[in-house]
Amino acid sequence: MGISRVTQSMLADRSVGSLQGSLTRLAKIQEQLSTGKVVNRASDSPTAAGAAMRFRGSIADQQQFVRNAENGLGWLSAADTTLSSVSDSVRRARELALQGVSASSSPTARAALAAEVDQLREQALADANAGYLGRPVFGGVTAGGAAYDATGSYVGSPGAVNRTVGAGVQVRVDVPGPDVFGDGATSLFADLDALSTALTSGDEAGMRAGLDALATRLTTVATVQAGVGAAYNRIEAAVESAKGQVVSLSASLSEIENTDLPKAMVDLKLQEVAYQAALASTSRVMQPSLVDFLR
pLDDT in tens, 22-38: 767 777 777 777 777 77
Confirm if 177 and 138 have CB atoms less than 8 A apart.
Answer: yes
* pLDDT (0 to 100) of residue 36: 74
pLDDT (average), residues 33-45 = 75
At 265, is the pLDDT very low, low, confident or very high (cuts 50, 70, 90)? confident
- pLDDT tens track for 207-243: 999 999 999 999 999 999 999 999 999 999 999 999 9
Residue range 249-270: average pLDDT? 77
Phi, psi of 165 (to 5 degrees): -110, 5
Residue 187 or residue 286, greater confidence: 187
pLDDT number for residue 288:
57
User: Using 50, 70 and 90 to split pLDDT, how confident is the model at 39?
Assistant: confident
Half-sphere exposure at residue 88, Cβ-oriented, CA atoms within 13 angstroms: 8
Of residues 146 and 13, the one with the higher pLDDT is 146
What is the pLDDT of the chain when averaged over all its residues? 86
Point out the least confidently predicted range of 126-130, 199-203, 274-278: 274-278
3-state secondary structure of 170: strand
Indicate the angle between helix axes 204-257 and 188-201, nearest 10 degrees: 150
Instruction: Give 276's pLDDT tier (boundaries 50, 70, 90).
Output: confident
> Euclidean distance between the first and final Cα of the chain, in Å?
34
pLDDT given for residue 107 in this prediction: 86
pLDDT tens for 114-139 read 999 999 999 999 999 999 998 999 99
Q: Which whole number is the average pLDDT over 173-180?
A: 95
Q: With the C-alpha atoms ordered 42, 48, 54, 59, is the resulting torsion angle positive or negative? A: negative
Confidence at residue 62, expressed as pLDDT on a 0 to 100 scale? 95
Give the pLDDT of residue 30.
76
Judge whether 192 and 121 are in contact, CB under 8 Å. Answer: yes
What average pLDDT score do residues 26-52 get? Answer: 77
Q: What is the pTM of this model?
A: 0.78
What pLDDT, on a 0 to 100 scale, did the predictor assign at position 219?
A: 96
pLDDT at 51: 87
Average of per-residue pLDDT across 52-69: 94
pLDDT for res 261: 65
Assess whether pLDDT exceeds 70 at residue 104.
Answer: no
Judged against a pLDDT cut of 70, whether residue 294 lies above it is answered with no
